[in-house]
Amino acid sequence: MGMLQGFLPIVMGAPAGGSAAGGSGQLTTTFVTFGLVILIFYFLIIRPQNKKQKETKNMLANLKKGDKVASIGGIRGVVQSVKDDAVIVKVDGDTKLEFTKSAIATVLERAEVKDE
């Protein structure tokens, strides 16, 4: 039983020199763990979100007449004209709808560039 009492604190992670010597080691471990959590959040959440935001901004900046688009509400149509902050989309026949640029979710098909 005496051997088990000496071995048990080592297995459970008790500091070898008492509680005063282990305080700075625990603080360092806490900071390292906190840093790892921040890194994980950055690479799994923040970085992909920033990348997607940049791609969406580029897509909206490159909208042009003739692009087939889908809105965030699911409405599909062809871009008739592009203004500073709005897009006019022809959805059927003579039906045209005006959307803010941020309401365009995806460009389904780019208008072909004609070589002149």
pLDDT for position 113 = 67
Secondary structure percentages of the chain, helix, strand, coil, to 5: 50, 25, 25
Positions of the chain with pLDDT under 50: 4, 7-8, 11-12, 116
* pLDDT on residue 31: 94
Displacement of CA 57 from its chain's centroid (Å): 13
Assign a CATH topology to domain 64-109: SH3 type barrels. (2.30.30)
pLDDT, residue 21, reads 52
Q: What is the pLDDT of residue 11?
A: 46
What was the pLDDT predicted at 24?
A: 81
pLDDT score, position 8:
46
Q: Is 27 left (phi over 0), alpha (psi -120 to 50) or beta?
A: alpha
* CA 11 from centre of chain: 42
Domain boundaries, the chain: 2-58, 64-109
